[in-house]
Amino acid sequence: MIAETGLAALWLAAALALLQLLLAFAGLKGGKPELLAAVRPAAVAQGLLTAIAFALLITLFLRSDMSVLLVATNSHSMKPWLYKFAGTWGNHEGSMLLWVTVMGVAGAAVALFERALKRDAHMATLGGQAAISLGFYAFLLFSSNPFARIDPPPPDGQGLNPLLQDPGLAFHPPTLYLGYVGLSVAFSFAIGALLTRQVDAAFARAMRPWVLAAWVLLTLGITAGSYWAYYELGWGGWWFWDPVENASLMPWLAATALLHSVTVLATRDALRAWTIMLAVIAFSMSMVGTFLVRSGILTSVHAFAVDPSRGSFILALLAIYIGGALALFGWRIGSVREGAPFELVSRETMLVANNLLLSVILGIVLIGTLYPLMTEAFGHKVSVGAPYFDRIAGPLALALMVVLAAGPLTRWRRDSASAVGKRLIVPALLLVVAAGVLAILAWGRIGVLPFLGLVIAIAVGAASIAPLWKRKLLRTPLFTWGMVIAHLGCAVSLAGMACDSAFTVEKLVAARPGDTIQTAGWTLRFVQIMPVAGDNWTALQADMQVDRGGAPVLIRPQSRFFASPPTSTSEAALLTRWNGQLYVVLGEEVEGGRWQMRIWWKPFVTFIWLGGIMIALGGALALVGRERRGWLLKWRARREVEA
Amino acid sequence: MKLLLALLMALVAVPAAAQTALPPAPWADRQIPDAAQERKAKALMETIRCLTCQSQSIADSGASMAGDMRSQIRERIMAGEQPEAIRTWLISRYGDWVSYEPTAAPILWPLWGAPLLFLGLGLLLLRGRIKRRKSR
């Protein structure tokens, strides 16, 4: 019954989405407010129904109901409950249901909480949200039904990919999807604005919180995914330029650009057409990413099932939505008046430079990701990987960091180059000093990019806190704090990346119990190797006593074996210190009772994700700060009216 | 406890035994004593694709074939070969697919040209806009 109820809820939600679209269209076209009055309730009901369907699927997984095909193929009754729960979205159908649920709930949120938009624009936005939802309902119901039954039910399920059996699965996909699909709201806002021809500062102020919220969650999701890959895959890498990672990076780049251009539109009423374009691109990139990941065109830990018909379905959706939105853009943008003009040396120009660089990086990541697919069509298999992206996108990212340092120190409308230069004196001095010190200490031993990265990170770190200089810290608006923390986070993250690639010390050894290994100031004593057992795995576990002069700490890397499906994984042991992480992986046994071990000392590697969290936190503070100010202004206005 | 350990070892031993059929790869997980050479080898390994896994370089793959390739690379580096010569050898053996570093083959020209094109286009648009605005 549970599965059937879930399916019914999905069909009802799809029907409501159709109704929502028709009501909004007919109401706006015919000028019938009574039809428009029903749009918001339809959106809310749709959100509720998708949430119910999702909750029911979770219930099926928690109960290990093997009569449901999806549970039987992706779960196992012996799994710990957390992985039964999170396993709900650790497969194709479940993750698409999560996608549709986030879209439905986001639509309901826009219906319930959006107050700043004018009525017609609001209704057109909800109509747009319903239109994109419909395609994904169709995809789910016609080609990826999560509630299909299997008869007769198997005695037990086939289990979940052990690589996914990690607490990361409970956090990374939901936050990533909230961000990914949350961008659909920005897309719908753009559609609504184009249809009602209302692209102005008020529109930008209404859209900004939604963009910020999606961006914060996307940032967290990517950060979590990166850390997960780092500790789970056991090779010490934190970003592989894997097409699937690129698929999440592209919407983030577009959303980051959008976040900044929407601020220009909200503050200065400039960049109108461009902001609309970015809102369309951001969610389009989410859809392109989903196509890449879900179509089976790529195979990776994320591509759960390979089914060409699904690929064509998503490709068709992509063509309809992206093509449709761009056509609407081309048709209507001529009627959007050009925004306010601006001077060469101004905050606006800095933000335009930010947008330019982010867009070019986005273009590079997109073409680098798609290029192997294109050449394969011509029968020539090539790989585009880290060497290409690092070399091409790396310098642009560093240039972006320089803009990031100068932007917040430049005034809106008009500023003078010499004044901006003066404000940047301290960071510039730091840059020179850091470059000198680093050149003396490590010349010839580190690459050009890590060298520049570290030096720029130090200067940008100083520049990013400069907006707080000589201000009363407690009276500084929360959104300024948000900007400062997010920008500082970029510098922190960059410093982490540069330190990791410049100073990581790797040691590969084959050691016997009793052996002592020295590396990077650490002493590791291999005490013993023991078998251990978990809920659904057994493992060989090495006891290592490690120290660098102080009291020794026991760390335990494992080599795990899962019975269903039969797989082995390595669980790295990580020891975190303020200035880095010791990363130890237990490999296979080699001749003479010795064990392969990979040991890395990674200075300041944790800064990468700390920076990511700071960026998200900054976004959250900006969101809360802006919203709070809005409430306060409204509250004061109301009090004045009453008085 | 010893028995359990022995059992587990037997479990691990099966794949290990299967691997002995492959040519030995003494340098798969062993660093070159000379640090500069090891750095060179490592840098090259990071740009060579593991052919039996998905989207991983041979520097971070547990596959036995990746181990073989790592060993080959280390041995050739120790014999004094240049990394780019080894890359060319690998490409001649496995095709362009094996190298994450795109070559300068004509089919890849657009890939190298695209970033310049994007940047140029963007700057052109931007220059026109700011100029136009200044003249007002």
d(CA B62, CA A570): 10
A298 min Cα distance to partner chain B (Å): 9
Residues A573-619 have pLDDT tens digits of 999 999 999 999 998 888 888 898 999 999 999 999 999 999 999 99
Whether the predicted pLDDT of B10 surpasses 80: no
Residues B100-132 have pLDDT tens digits of 888 778 888 888 899 999 999 888 877 766 655
What average pLDDT score do residues A417-436 get? 92
CB pairs under 8 A between A and B: 132
d(CA A93, CA A140): 7
Question: What is the 3-state secondary structure of A454-503?
Answer: HHHHHHHHHHHHHHHCCCCHHHCCHHHHHHHHHHHHHHHHHHHHHHHHHH
Question: A595 pairs with which residues across the strands?
Answer: A511, A589
B97 contacts A382? CB cut-off 8 A = yes
**What value does the mean pLDDT of chain B take?**
78
**Beta carbons of A342 and A270 less than 8 angstroms apart:** yes
Tell me the HSE value of B119 on the side-chain side, using a 13 A CA sphere.
Answer: 15
d(CA A76, CA A158): 6
pLDDT at res. A190: 95
Helices (H), A378-424: 386-406, 417-423
**Beta carbons of A557 and A541 less than 8 angstroms apart:** yes
Whether the predicted pLDDT of B21 surpasses 70: no
CATH 3.40.190.170 fits B24-101, yes or no: no
pLDDT at res. B129: 65
Confidence at A362, pLDDT banded by 50, 70, 90:
very high
* pTM greater than 0.80: yes
Confidence at B9, pLDDT banded by 50, 70, 90:
very low
A72 min Cα distance to partner chain B (Å): 26
d(CA A439, CA A4): 67
Q: Beta A580-590 vs A594-603: how paired, if at all?
A: antiparallel
Phi, psi of A598 (to 5 degrees): -115, 125
The mean-pLDDT minimum among A19-28, A41-50, A155-164, A357-366 falls in A155-164
pLDDT at res. B23: 56
B9 contacts A235? CB cut-off 8 A = no
Q: Which residues of A touch B108 (CB under 8 A)?
A: 371, 375, 382
| Coil, helix or strand at residue A619 | helix
A300 contacts B54? CB cut-off 8 A = yes
B29 contacts A508? CB cut-off 8 A = yes
**Encoded tokens for B53:** 């896994």
Q: Nearest CB to B49: which of A235, A383, A589?
A: A383
Work out whether the CA dihedral A430, A433, A436, A442 comes out positive or negative. Answer: negative
A297 or B90, higher pLDDT: B90
A380 contacts B107? CB cut-off 8 A = yes
Give the angle A494-A497-A500 at the CA atoms, nearest 5°: 145
pLDDT at res. B18: 44
B59 contacts A363? CB cut-off 8 A = no
Residue in the structure block whose two tokens are 């062993």: B30
**What value does the mean pLDDT of chain A take?**
91
Give the distance from CA B80 to its chain's centroid: 20
d(CA A346, CA A410): 6
Q: Where are the domains positioned within chain B?
A: 24-101, 104-136
What average pLDDT score do residues A609-636 get? 92
A341 contacts B133? CB cut-off 8 A = yes
Q: Nearest CB to A300: which of B9, B29, B55?
A: B55
Query: Which of A272, A338, A382 is the best mutation test for B, with the most CBs of B within 10 A?
Result: A382
Residues A322-353 have pLDDT tens digits of 999 999 998 988 877 776 777 888 898 899 99
B102 contacts A382? CB cut-off 8 A = yes
**Beta carbons of A58 and A157 less than 8 angstroms apart:** no
d(CA A30, CA B117): 46
B135 or A356, higher pLDDT: A356
Question: What's the first-to-final CA gap in chain B, in angstroms?
Answer: 86
Closest residue in chain B to residue A528, using alpha carbons only: B5
Whether the predicted pLDDT of B22 surpasses 60: no
Q: Which residues of B touch A502 (CB under 8 A)?
A: none
**Encoded tokens for A518:** 């020295």
